[in-house]
Amino acid sequence: MADAAQLVRDEIADLSRGDLEAVLAYYTDDVFFHDVTTEPCHGKEAMRDFMAVFYRGFPDLRIEIRNVIAGGRLVAAEYDLLGTHTGTFLEHPATGRAFRIPALSVYEQEADGPLFTRETVYYDAASLFGQLGLPVPAAPGAV
């Protein structure tokens, strides 16, 4: 089986190049993708749609890896997410402001192959929106 930590490094490199089709090739068709600041996505199409929102708002989106740790079928990647708000993001027009936030993704690899079945992404959305000078949206499920 392919080295899961290296697969994550490669997937992150493709993310930094903005190559969504290459990124999706690392995942099963029924992937469960959850950015904890919003509702989960089920399947590659939903994941593509979710990620496209970020690339429209931040065409220069890139990731700088700090650490990648693998054990069994799980991989954790700690990184900085960076970009400049030059496009529309969640209905907010471009501010031209740059951001840099720390983030963590946890990946789960399929039992009998190299593809990822799940990814959960953790980051501080308030920091992201604050750096962009935008109002912080309510958390999912908030009353």
State the average pLDDT over residues 135-139.
80
Does this model's pTM top 0.75? My answer is yes
Listed in sequence order, the residues at least 6 apart from 17 whose beta carbon sits closer than 8 Å to its beta carbon are none
Give residue 54's pLDDT. Answer: 94
**Each residue's pLDDT tens digit, 67-124:** 999 999 999 999 999 999 999 999 999 999 999 999 999 999 999 989 999 999 999 9
| Cβ proximity of 90 and 118 under 8 Å | no
130/107 Cα distance (integer angstroms): 28
| Cβ proximity of 120 and 13 under 8 Å | no
- pLDDT tops 60 at residue 1: no
Give residue 137's pLDDT. Answer: 81
Q: How does residue 138 score in pLDDT terms, banded at 50, 70 and 90?
A: confident
Give residue 142's pLDDT. Answer: 53
70/119 Cα distance (integer angstroms): 14
**Each residue's pLDDT tens digit, 8-65:** 999 999 999 999 999 999 999 999 999 999 999 999 999 999 999 999 999 999 999 9
- pLDDT tops 70 at residue 143: no
- pLDDT tops 70 at residue 139: no
